[in-house]
Every structure is written in structure tokens, then in C-alpha cells.
Amino acid sequence: MSQINPDRPLLVGPEVPIAPFPYKIIGTVVKGYGRGSRELGIPTANLSDNTLEMFPPECHTGVYYGFVQIDQPKSTVYPMVMSLGWNPYYHNEKRSAEVHIIHEFPQDFYGVDIRVLVLGYIRPEQDYPSLAALIRDIKTDVEVAKHSLKRPAYEQLQNDDLFTT
């Protein structure tokens, strides 16, 4: 099986973010189910339950792309993909928001502040017939985010006031 799904486009969304994007989420990284690193090989920064209330009502379940910053202001801004929803493959009973920061960190960072700038929608959430199929789609999501964020109108948002104030 290939690393990514060749049937999916690697560029999504308009040339510039349009409503309801961008939207800003500020929260704290909490311990999740431990599946991101352990089962998927794709670690996530899980957002606290109260952070879910910050998402606008038009924000549907699915996978999003944007930028993220952890810890303190003026630290590095990284590209990210975020899953918002029920994780049907795992039959979750509550909605969650899990951010995969497209960067390798040497350790976990539970309890730190996180700032998320959501810039676009990649796809709806779905169930998968296998863990391998889920991993393949997540890896494709990462590539889609990388390509979609390289457009000038998106790249400049790494300097958004969310990350500098």
C-alpha cells in the first residue's frame, strides 16, 4: 500500500482563506487516548474539552489544516492538521479535537498552552475498514496541508497576531 492516497488531490481550498476561516483556538494540551503515537505513529496534541466550545457552529466534523504554536508567544509556528470529531474508527463516545503538528518533538508536552489558527477544511471524518487505511489517509492529510499552506496568502498567516501577541 502506498504511503498516501493517489486518488486524493494534494491541494484543497481557495487561494485565500474565506469565511468562516480563519478562526482562532487557544487552549491547553491534554492527555488523549494515546493512540496517535502508539497505534498510528502520528502523535497529536489533544485539546481540552472546554476548547471544543471555541469552535464556531459552522465548523463540521472532519480534518482541517492551518498553523499552530505551542508553549509561549514568539515560539516557532508550525503547519498542522487537525481532526475534529468522533473518530468513528475508534467508536469514541465524545467529540475531540486532535492537532498533529507537522514537526517532530523529542517529548510530550502535556499542560502547555497551544494556539491554533484553522485556515481550511480538508475532508469530512469517516470510518475505515482497517488501521492501515486510516494511517494512509492521515498521511495524505499531512501532505494536503503542506501543499495547501504553501500558497502565499496562507504562508503570510504564520505571522498572525495570534502568534505574536
Which pTM does this prediction carry? 0.92
pLDDT for the residue 1: 43
CATH number attached to the domain at 23-160 = 2.40.30.30
Beta-carbon contacts of 143 under 8 Å, excluding residues fewer than 6 positions away, are 4, 10
Tell me the per-residue pLDDT of 81-125, one tens digit each, with 9 for 90 and over: 999 998 878 777 788 899 999 998 888 888 999 999 999 999 999
Q: For the purposes of burial, counting CB atoms within 10 Å of the CB of 93, is it exposed (0-12), middle (13-18) or buried (19 or more)?
A: exposed
Within a 10 A sphere around the Cβ of 123, how many other Cβ atoms?
Answer: 14
Cα 95 from Cα 49, distance rounded (Å): 8
Q: Annotated catalytic sites, by residue?
A: 98
With beta carbons less than 8 A apart as the criterion, state whether 54 and 27 touch: yes
Residue with cell 502565499: 152
| Ranges of each domain in the chain | 23-160
